[in-house]
Structure 1
Amino acid sequence: MIVDSGAGLVTTINTANGDITSMLFNGKQLQDSTKFTQLSSGLGSATVTSSVANNIAVIKITTSTIAHYYIVRSGINTLYIGTFASAEPSVGELRFIARLNKATLPNGNPNAEINGGTAIEGSDVFLVNGVTRSKFYSSIPFIRDQVHGVTGSGVGAYIIVPSVSYETSSGGPFFRDIDNQGSSQQELYWYMNSGHEQTEAFRTGFFGPYALAITSGAAPSENLDTSFMDSLGLQGYVSASGRGTATGTYSGTLSGLAVTIGFKLSSFALLIGILPLTSPLSRPSTIWSIGTVDGSPVGFLNADKIETMHPSDSRMSNWGPITFTVGSSSVGSFPMAQFKDVNNPTTIKWTASTSQIGARTLRIRTTEAFAGGRPQIIVNSWTSSAPAAPPKVDSRGVTRGTWRGFNQVYDFAIPSGTLVAGSNTIQISTISGSAGDVFLSPNFVYDSVELF
């Protein structure tokens, strides 16, 4: 089946399975010739039908659980896409992947260019010319990922995902997933559901609308007009007129921090926005704190690099073990993650006054854990009990460039008589009943450490 936009884009779709096998743009072949553009890892077989009305072509690809749509408007070089899924695909994950011609579109995300590399972790993290690269290092949190693409001479291919199109995806606004991988093909993705550090059950329903826009090179606007789709009868699609509004107030956050508000149900998750709020939430009067209580490791050692490279990368600062002195060490010297086999323990030195000793609480907030990693502390000669293991996420995390998992708060009650006026030493160790080597040893990611 051949669909011509009339403006330079000619797309060929295999009527046996729904794969896109050719995309010609002004005579340039954008599609790879050995692997094709498809949903999941290919549907195997599918029913493909088409209709044309009012200068709009609708191609519908169906299986027993999938209704996938490609829509072309006359005069516009964009494939508008929608995907309805009543169940996860039996082959691969629920994703759209455009496998494009590397010769025509050579320029992708450099952090995800793996061609010529050697695998150093699993089959998806590589060493290339002395630096680490992975498709995972192309990921961007959903809340910021509206347009991503690849380019070549006089041509660009871009995925556009309006914010509303993430409603059915699992993971929430700060979830991040693969956007690109450069290998012998140039791969461009939109992941709808995956198990990559996933903290929610998969949702089903309508995913989208989203689009594959072909340009002369420049990135398109994220403001994708999909109002024409309201009357197309797409399975599961909800038009603007079918949407409601939400109003109200919110409290329960710390003042001065940007807050993201959303609603979450089993069928959808709706992002409301990022707002500066003033809140009456009380916070303990701390003696000292390390880091900001914001649900992220931002500001800590290597936090500025971890999203785009492996912890073993030569560009990383030395992980330690680190000794941090309260009052003189910079926050940027405190590790954003602690690995049982790499930088155990982290030591905090602190000189206390008489008024600061007695029974106290050390609070450690974390944003993610791998292999059951969690903190245990030693204060001078006193050792805390071991906290329970955090919720399990069946995925590698920080080595794949993400620090977002299940937020945890660990409160350690330090008994009276433990702290002394003068010099004190606190050691934080990663513990776990599980084993692992180097950066795949049990670990956790810090949000903040407070003493009160």
Structure 2
Amino acid sequence: MSGSVNRPVRRRTFVLGAAATAGTAALAGPLAQSASAAAFGWSDDGSNYVVDTGASLVFKVSKTNGDLTSLVYRGAEYQGYGGMNSHIESGLGSSTVTIRQSGSTILISVTYGTLRHYYAARSGENNIYLWTNKADTSVSATRYILRVRKGLFLNDEPDSYTYAPTAIEASDVFAKSDGQTRSKHYSKLRVMDYDYIGWTAGGVGLWIVRSNHEKASGGPFYRSLLRHQSADGGGLYEILYYGQNQTEAQRFGLQGPYVIAFTDGGAPSSALFPGTLTTPWADSLGISGYVGAAGRGRVAGVGISGRDTAYPYTVGLANSAAQYWGSARASDGYFSIGEILPGTYTLTVFKGELAVYTSSVTVSTGATTTLNTIAIPSSNDPSNASAIWRIGDWNGTPSGFKNADLMTYAHPSDVRAASWTGNVVIGGGSETSAFPCYLWKDVNSGLIVYFRLTAAQAAAAHTLRIGVTTAYANGRPQVVVNDTWTSAIPSPPTQPNTRSLTNGSYRGNNHTFTYSVPASAWLTDTGAYNTLKIHVVSGSGATGYLSAGTSIDAIDLLA
């Protein structure tokens, strides 16, 4: 999804940004700003270090705990709501906070146990650069939340609570009076889809430009809350590790920079984007864990053969210390991924979000590792298998299934959702759009697929495959054919153990369940419909949309 400015609400607009549209927006440069009479420098007011960037931005950081306590742009205060400051986690508590100026850079360092956090300002810029170094699990999660005063950027978008006062799940999913749902989780976006998040109103844009997420977890397709809006104020987030719907163990080390950026209402400059931003000025600042460009390498691939050109391909690199990714060129599969920490990585090629190739690659300091054309074996893509019928396609997502698009920004109970029940007949051409993207034990378990077989097909055993993208509470499919043959209950694959299907994410661990259906299970009357009942089974889960469930990638009966 590319960045866009949506329909204004009360003359204020809401923006989620991506690099694809940055060139069409009014840009504010990361360096040169309008002339200002203020002088670049810092002072101490007794409780805070006060930094004047020499442009239009003055901010304060608490000397006690490292909170960002004030954020004044063009004389107006933007920081804070509900008596709370902006900070790592929900505030670090008593910390050691220091400041020093090195030429045109001011660096504030915050030490809290094993965690190190940094704020940097550059002369003449309306930006704050942030780094966070998490060394271990003594801090439970890693996020930075920029808390923004109420009334400045009101909106009624999916991640807003402003006009949705009724809680319908936990304390973070709400319903409006018209039946639409809202939650801070409903961002619509995967990590790879956005470069910045924020708002614009009254000639002011306030943004967080994300980091490259090399020390985050979940890969390029991970979905997480990005911001929220309520009557109390708004929040912008940089989520570096979040326990919600995680597919990987967390990584430790320095993450950043991510940037708090003010503009004249346009998008932040693309020079601040991950993959574009360079910070040679930070090389000598002594930031714990910092590795400059000279200490990194690159991986480049000549191309990828065996692709299905109807789908985008992404190349990911991951090990226990870092993760990276890049898009493969549509014409030939060429890819290049830079600014990589040296080490050995698992390289994965994804068709859509489905892994279809893996190998190992080693990255060396200051060097480019060049790979010859990667050939994806035909058998690695399940779409290449000959099928009697297929619902959906194998791309690692529930795209095309009923309600799939809506579920990235709404609750399953949302009034806009089509009925989650209803059976499917093979051969009508609308099998995928009629099949619900999610199945739950307490909502639509027992859904029936009707299909005919030829005499030759009915005389043979066949393999049935059901691909899933995630599951909640160990929900997995058990099937019944013609009410005469019932599969065994499959073992649950490893999946995240938190909510997913109700908070905007189908992303988990792709898994394929296979069922060997004997010939004796089929009807011999070629004019009659065979029936396939798909049940969701689990000993866990609650009720309704929080009962055990799963997200569907594709279903097929192999020839």
Q: How far off its partner does 1:253 sit? A: 6.9
**When the two structures are superposed, what TM-score results if normalisation uses the length of structure 1?**
0.95
Q: How far off its partner does 1:226 sit? A: 3.2
Cα deviation, 1:107-131, whole Å, max 9, x if unaligned, reads: 4x71111135121101111112332
Cα deviation, 1:218-255, whole Å, max 9, x if unaligned, reads: 11134313322233221112211111122457879763
Structure 2 contact 203–265 (Cα < 8 Å) conserved: yes
Which of 351, 359, 366 is equivalent to 2:452? Answer: 351
Map of 2:128 onto structure 1:
79
Structure 1 contact 105–156 (Cα < 8 Å) conserved: no
Cα pair distance change 1:96/1:435, threshold 3 Å: closer
Structure 2 contact 167–173 (Cα < 8 Å) conserved: yes
Cα deviation, 1:368-414, whole Å, max 9, x if unaligned, reads: 10011000111112111111122142200110000001111101101
Q: Does 1:407 align with 2:407?
A: no
Map of 1:300 onto structure 2:
401
Gaps of 5+ in 2: 1-48, 334-374
Map of 2:14 onto structure 1:
none
Structure 1 contact 253–279 (Cα < 8 Å) conserved: yes
The whole-number CA distance in structure 2 between the counterparts of 1:351 and 1:379 is 12
Q: CA RMSD in A?
A: 1.8
Map of 1:287 onto structure 2:
388
Map of 2:93 onto structure 1:
44
Amino acid at match of 1:437: T
The whole-number CA distance in structure 2 between the counterparts of 1:274 and 1:126 is 39
Equivalent residue runs for 1:30-179 within 5 Å: 30-32=78-80, 34-90=83-139, 93-107=141-155, 110-115=157-162, 117-130=165-178, 131-138=180-187, 140-162=189-211, 165-179=212-226
Q: How far off its partner does 1:362 sit? A: 0.6
Amino acid at match of 1:272: G
Q: How far off its partner does 1:198 sit? A: 0.3
Amino acid at match of 1:262: G
Amino acid at match of 2:297: G
Amino acid at match of 1:143: M
Cα deviation, 1:47-76, whole Å, max 9, x if unaligned, reads: 111111221111111122111111111111
**Greater shift in the superposed pair: 305-314 or 239-248:** 239-248
Map of 1:323 onto structure 2:
423
The whole-number CA distance in structure 1 between the counterparts of 2:464 and 2:254 is 45
Q: Percent identity?
A: 37
Amino acid at match of 2:149: N
Map of 1:386 onto structure 2:
489
Structure 1 contact 365–409 (Cα < 8 Å) conserved: yes
Which of 239, 243, 268 is equivalent to 1:191? Answer: 239
Structure 1 contact 105–153 (Cα < 8 Å) conserved: no
**When the two structures are superposed, what TM-score results if normalisation uses the length of structure 2?**
0.77
Map of 1:447 onto structure 2:
553
Structure 2 contact 481–532 (Cα < 8 Å) conserved: yes
Cα pair distance change 1:379/1:147, threshold 3 Å: same
Amino acid at match of 1:352: L
Map of 2:62 onto structure 1:
14
Q: How far off its partner does 1:279 sit? A: 3.1
The whole-number CA distance in structure 1 between the counterparts of 2:149 and 2:291 is 34
SS of match in other structure, 2:393: coil
The whole-number CA distance in structure 2 between the counterparts of 1:237 and 1:426 is 56
Map of 1:255 onto structure 2:
308
The whole-number CA distance in structure 2 between the counterparts of 1:89 and 1:99 is 24
Q: How far off its partner does 1:353 sit? A: 1.1
Q: How far off its partner does 1:93 sit? A: 2.3
Structure 1 contact 365–446 (Cα < 8 Å) conserved: yes
Structure 2 contact 470–495 (Cα < 8 Å) conserved: no
Structure 1 contact 378–427 (Cα < 8 Å) conserved: yes
Q: Does 1:428 align with 2:534?
A: yes
Amino acid at match of 1:185: G
The whole-number CA distance in structure 2 between the counterparts of 1:250 and 1:417 is 47
Structure 1 contact 40–89 (Cα < 8 Å) conserved: no
Q: How far off its partner does 1:138 sit? A: 2.1
Tell me how many residue pairs correspond in the alignment.
447
Map of 1:337 onto structure 2:
438
**Greater shift in the superposed pair: 238-247 or 424-433:** 238-247
Map of 2:478 onto structure 1:
376
Structure 1 contact 149–219 (Cα < 8 Å) conserved: no
Equivalent residue runs for 1:195-234 within 5 Å: 195-224=243-272, 225-227=277-279, 228-234=281-287
Map of 2:32 onto structure 1:
none
Map of 2:468 onto structure 1:
366
The whole-number CA distance in structure 1 between the counterparts of 2:285 and 2:90 is 27
